[in-house]
Amino acid sequence: MSARPTALVTGASRGVGAAVARALAPTHDLLLGGRDRDALDGVAAELPGARPWPVELTAVTAADVAGIDRLGVLVHSAGVATLGRIEEAPAEVWRRTMEVNVVAVAELTRLLLPALRAAGGHVVLVNSGAGRRANPTWGSYAASKFALRAFADALRLEEPGLRVTTVYPGRVDTDMQRGVREQENGAYEPDKYLRADSVARAVLAAVTASPDAHITEITVRPSAGPAN
């Protein structure tokens, strides 16, 4: 049995989640969470000590986490973004966004609390600049990220034996960002965005902070381009 701590990363098949997995791989055994088994297998093949954890996060149950007795790190990176003016956004958009970005996070964390407590673990929530400021057409997404921020703050106070970090990245060069720019009818300009591994380094900095340090929030902005 490995003596290394275990980290579970959601959204690990691509983008920021995959970058976080690569950043943690030298020091952690990894569970790679996501729906796309083939993509998870591809990432796992790169990383010794990594294995896929295919799951539908909005339907996760106690059976899915059975056998995870100690968890050193839980990184919530999965998320969705559907943009549109409030007058154009029906209830199902709000429900889906909240379900994926907030409810699934809360439920997975709840189910894994015994394992996190056993390890004195660390929960990292990849939020967004939209978690601090809501812009036009970003209503449902920003609301979900504001809620995710509140969840992190409550968890930190309720679970003093854990470290809880919220990371607020600006725009990141990912497939998700391509979809966002298509919804905005804007040009995709990767040189103005953060690299996924830059966000992963921020996560790694929080996770590897000395035991006396609890990094509660990290804001990462691209050196050029919009904040969110």
**pLDDT 10s digits, 106-117:** 999 999 999 999
Let me know if residue 227 belongs to a domain: no
Percent over 70 (pLDDT), the chain? 97
Query: Which residues are paired to 53 by β-bridges?
Result: 33
Residue range 104-127: average pLDDT?
98
Confidence of residue 144 (pLDDT cuts 50, 70, 90): very high
pLDDT at res. 177: 84
Helix 37-46 crosses helix 15-24 at what angle (to 10 degrees)? 30
Residue 117 token pair: 């407590």
Let me know if residue 38 belongs to a domain: yes
Which residue did the predictor score with more confidence, 72 or 193? 72
Q: Please, are residues 135 and 142 in contact by the beta-carbon 8 Å criterion?
A: yes
Let me know if residue 223 belongs to a domain: no
Q: In sequence order, which ranges of the chain are alpha helices (DSSP H)? A: 15-24, 37-46, 62-65, 91-98, 104-119, 139-158, 175-184, 196-207
Specify the DSSP element, H or E, that contains 177.
Answer: helix 175-184
Q: Please, are residues 74 and 8 in contact by the beta-carbon 8 Å criterion?
A: yes
Domain assignment of residue 190, given as a range: 6-214
Let me know if residue 135 belongs to a domain: yes
Let me know if residue 220 belongs to a domain: no
pLDDT at residue 1 is higher than 50: no
Let me know if residue 225 belongs to a domain: no
Q: What is the CATH number of the domain that holds 148?
A: 3.40.50.720
Number of domains present in the structure of the chain: 1
Residue 78 token pair: 């999965």
Q: Is 209 helix (H, G, I), strand (E, B) or coil?
A: coil
Residue range 192-213: average pLDDT?
96
pLDDT at residue 227 is higher than 80: no
The model's pTM is 0.94
Q: Please, are residues 75 and 31 in contact by the beta-carbon 8 Å criterion?
A: no
Let me know if residue 120 belongs to a domain: yes
